[in-house]
Amino acid sequence: MSDTVTTREPEKATLPREIYVLVGASFLIAIGYGLIGPALPNFAASFDVGLTAASFVVSAFALVRLLFAPASGKLVTRFGERPIYLWGLSIVAAGTLACALAEEYWQLLLFRSASGVGSTMFTVSAIGLLIRISPAHLRGRASGLWGTSFLLGGIAGPVIGSGLVAVSLRAPFLAYGAALLVTTVFVWWQLRHSTLAARAADDDEPELTFTQALRHPTYRAALASNLANGWVVLGVRMSLIPLFVTAVLVKDETFTGIALAVFAAANAAVLLLAGRFADKRGRRPPAIAGLALLAVGTTLLGVTSNPWLFLVAALIAGAGSGSLNPAHNAAVADVLGAKARGGSVLAGFQMAADVGAVVGPLVAGAVAEKMSYAAAFGLTGGIAAIGLVLWILAKETLPKADDRDEEAADEVTPAADSSCPEAGCQR
């Protein structure tokens, strides 16, 4: 019997104003990532260091994000999402502006690494804010809107950044740092009196620990799917596809840009639709469909020498990622619940993607070098397939229509039933 839950669509489905504040901030932050992307490796190389050292400046940011994620989760649990979000933005702003002023390689490495600390702080806290602010029946849509804004900002950023690089390698860092300062002030101004964004005055909110969350099969599935998503989208897509296009398809950087744009366009086209579906019919169906498409599309990328079929494979993989993201984000929110504290749960979920982003390019690159591109992309598709199996075995977490009002009134307390230990399981 299917676990899919068909729920009644509320007559009035309106997202709170605070969601749009976070969405706008996400767009500006993503533009900033794109701004400095074209400049960072060349800026590092300008300090007369080798290719490995120049590349490590890029990797150091992701590595620090990964290492600091547990601490960020504890900070969110201790102080709340809103202050950690603002402090995280401030740290990235300061680190980015300092990068623009760096006079030696080690200074650039230090300041960029410090930005990774702030990045994981505002990422973990932003997910927590989305959970706290979003009504249970709109979590998929809120996640889809947030993801779309970040994706569109990531597309626009490199276009603007390429123009700034022509002026100076330091100009993108100055522009991004200034934009982050404006974003920090904007978010503070908009959320300073928000009762939704503020933590309750009492301190008796239950805390869901990472160990407790691991007992939930849907949280385990979400960890696996976020690992696969980070492996494919944040890692292999940016590292292996450009090499494959040059070596196998014998195309230039222009075709690489087209392939990446097709992936991003398919992702963006599906995100909002998948979020709505996840809110109406359940989290499992779009997650399962997304992982299946991601596994098939990624595998196909490595077995074709036809440029048109390659673009079709990129389209399939992009649609898979777009279908998956709102579903597993909303499922983690369901497991945690709107009122429970769970910084370590959110940090663990974010770390899964960061592990994929760091490990994926290294492992896939080594397999491509020792064996073949087909084997590397096949391995990547296999990682998505593992997530698919776990999602097939997962429980549906979409709250029933009759239970949605209760979530707003009741606090979420971990249950003793080990087969379904947390709030949100459908019996």
- 103-112 pLDDT tens trace: 998 999 999 9
User: Do the Cβ atoms of 326 and 271 come closer than 8 Å?
Assistant: yes
Please check whether residues 367 and 405 belong to one and the same domain: yes
Domain final residue, candidates 166, 199, 232: 199
Say whether 207 sits in a helix, a strand or coil.
Answer: strand
Parent domain of 421: 206-427
Please check whether residues 248 and 171 belong to one and the same domain: no
SS3 annotation, 54-116: HHHHHHHHHHHHHHHHHHHHHHHHHHCHHHHHHHHHHHHHHHHHHHHCCCCHHHHHHHHHHHH
User: Do the Cβ atoms of 21 and 146 come closer than 8 Å?
Assistant: no
Residue 218: its pLDDT value, please? 93
* Cβ neighbours around 59 below 10 Å, total: 14
User: Do the Cβ atoms of 27 and 418 come closer than 8 Å?
Assistant: no
Please check whether residues 192 and 313 belong to one and the same domain: no
- Whether residue 3 is contained in a domain is answered as no
Please check whether residues 263 and 375 belong to one and the same domain: yes
Residue 9: its pLDDT value, please? 45
Residue 193 sits at the vertex; the CA angle it makes with 192 and 199, to the nearest 5 degrees, is 85
- Whether residue 4 is contained in a domain is answered as no
User: Do the Cβ atoms of 133 and 21 come closer than 8 Å?
Assistant: no
User: Do the Cβ atoms of 41 and 105 come closer than 8 Å?
Assistant: no
Please check whether residues 328 and 230 belong to one and the same domain: yes
Number of domains in the chain: 2
Q: What are the tokens at 6?
A: 């068909």
Over residues 339-394, the pLDDT tens digits come to 666 678 888 888 898 888 888 888 888 888 889 889 999 999 999 999 999 999 99
Residue 157: pLDDT over 80? no
Residue 47: its pLDDT value, please? 85
What residue has token string 């199996």? 389
- Whether residue 2 is contained in a domain is answered as no
Among the residues of 337-372, which ranges form H helices? 343-370
How far apart, in whole angstroms, are the C-alpha atoms of residue 119 and residue 91? 8
Over residues 159-216, the pLDDT tens digits come to 676 677 777 888 888 988 998 999 999 889 988 877 776 765 555 566 788 888 889 9
- Whether residue 290 is contained in a domain is answered as yes
Prediction pTM value: 0.77
Please check whether residues 156 and 254 belong to one and the same domain: no
- If we measure between CA atoms, which residue out of 125, 133, 123 comes closest to residue 15? 133
**How large is the average pLDDT for residues 147-163?**
75
